[in-house]
Chains A and B, each alone.
Chain A
């Protein structure tokens, strides 16, 4: 049972990383950094 769970988790991790890679390079629109949460160009009072 534990082995099946590990295989599923490894497959899910690989799938997630592949999807992230695809979204980064081929995604239609990326508004900002998905990791740090800064999603807009910095707007200051300038």
Chain B
């Protein structure tokens, strides 16, 4: 067992909650591993960490990790997390959501959490499909992709999660993938360290549903497609804006200094108590 595995093992509820609910080849476990390594790397105490998740395959991520964990209702994870963080700002609060969860039913909370700039780390597990319910189109399903509710191909244009988050005011926006795991560890750590709302889109494969509908091959070949189609954070550093044009690049896309909500409210409390 490598040192990295030992770290992850220490953070799992291995006696109670395994085996996982996820299909073989699902990327969710890879994201979970990165979340754990990021927290471990930053030496944040388990007792001071909370994971809030929504509904769907990604929603189950909270169950397996030994933190303060809250599995909420569909689309509302950010709103629950807002109350939790605002009531207890000393907690490190990470929010795990799926693409449908965060951007369809939870779209309103997503843009307003970004606008408010409350110190949460919002991780969107983007597999471009509603996996748990059997493969319906989501707000990130690419045009033309096949889904159980789009047998002739999807006719709805998808959201660009990063651009949406940036436009809504998020202080930190990044994109990672389950192929580029070392980069993902690094990006999650950066997102946690950022004071303010951090949005991290993680491109993760769903070989069982999305892959089969769209004939993308095995889990391994879907990871290879990530390798071949995405520009990694380190590759992107050596490229000009012209070269990056039209490519899906990973890494930190937005990093701004903006007033954080809980800190602004502490200031308001001080003013209210002086008045």
Q: Do A and B bind each other?
A: no
B residues contacting A by CB (< 8 A) are: none
